[in-house]
Structure 1
Amino acid sequence: MRQGPLSLLCAVLLMTAQLHAEEISTAPDSNQPLVAATAAETQIDALEQRLAVSEQQRAELAAQLQSTSSERENAHLTRLRQDNQRLKLQLKEAQAEQPARLLSEQQLWFAIGAGVALVAMLCGAMLRGRRRIRREWIN
């Protein structure tokens, strides 16, 4: 036999023995990833439970917030309605206490025009003075 293929055959046989030995030596260590996987699964389960509890608490708090805000809005709405009724009542009382107008708007403008005419006539009489002009049309 030749030396090349014989040495190649020996090298392959030695490598397979070493690979087989490594597989046997890794067999006890293969239990360790299994333990890590179960620990991770238990941790995931615990986290999922915590998530479910926190989601439930969040939903309860949201419901409480909604009910509290609606109660507050109802109280505010009731207070605004009471204020509105009170202000309407005050407005009616103020309108009832207000005296009736003496003159309508048309009568008021007529009185203002008459006053202006009277003042103009008085000013004209005062500007004329006391001098007597000879009245030619009488003679």
Structure 2
Amino acid sequence: MHRHYPPFLFAALSLAPALHAEEASVAAEQPATLEQRLAESERHRNELAVQLQSASSDSAQLARLRQENQRLKQQLHDVQTRQPERLLNEEQTWYVTGAATALLAFMLGALSRGRRRQRREWLN
């Protein structure tokens, strides 16, 4: 007895060696592609490592600057608490100077007048 096979089975069987050859060429291509991707990945990893190192040094520098800033703030606070407060501010100092000048002028005027018993009158 002779069996009859469907025609598509022969076509599929005839294509199998071609598909296997294509898979072999893809498999041969894959290591080269994978090596290229690996090289790119290593280069990218190295760039990220450099960025991470610079970021960590930046953060260390930032921490040092913050610590120095806190130290300077504390020094400023200590100096300000040790200084006595000014008695008068600038505006009040000007008022006191003006009042002292007016008082001095009044006293000099009173002393320069002397003691006169009669008033000077206008002559007609």
What TM-score bracket applies, with the shorter chain setting the length?
0.5 to 0.7
Give the stretch that moved more between structures: 29-38 or 59-68. 29-38
**Aligned match of 2:80 in 35, 55, 76?**
76
RMSD: 2.0
Report the CA distance between 1:63 and its aligned residue: 0.8
Which one of 39, 50, 54 corresponds to residue 50 of structure 1?
54
State whether structure 2 residue 22 is matched by structure 1 residue 18: yes
Which one of the candidate residues 16, 25, 34 is aligned to 1:30? 34
Q: Tell me, which stretches of 5 or more residues in structure 2 are unaligned?
A: 89-124
Counterparts of 1:19 and 1:72 in 2: how far apart (Å)?
76
> Any stretches of 5+ residues in structure 1 without a counterpart?
88-139
With normalisation by structure 1, the TM-score equals: 0.53
TM-score by length of 2: 0.59
How do 1:1-139 residues align onto structure 2 when only pairs under 5 Å count?
2=5, 3-79=7-83, 82-83=84-85
Q: Give 1:20 deviation, angstroms.
A: 1.3
Identity %: 12
Name the SS for the 2:60 alignment partner: helix
Structure 1 or 2: more helix by fraction: 1
The number of equivalent residue pairs is 84
**Structure 1 CA distance, aligned partners of 2:60 and 2:43?**
26
Paired letter, 2:65: L
Letter in 2 for 1:65: N
Return structure 1 stretches of 4+ with deviation > 6 angstroms.
Answer: none
Residues 82-138 of structure 1, C-alpha deviation per residue, up to 9 Å, x if partnerless? 227x69xxxxxxxxxxxxxxxxxxxxxxxxxxxxxxxxxxxxxxxxxxxxxxxxxxx
Corresponding residue SS for 2:25:
helix
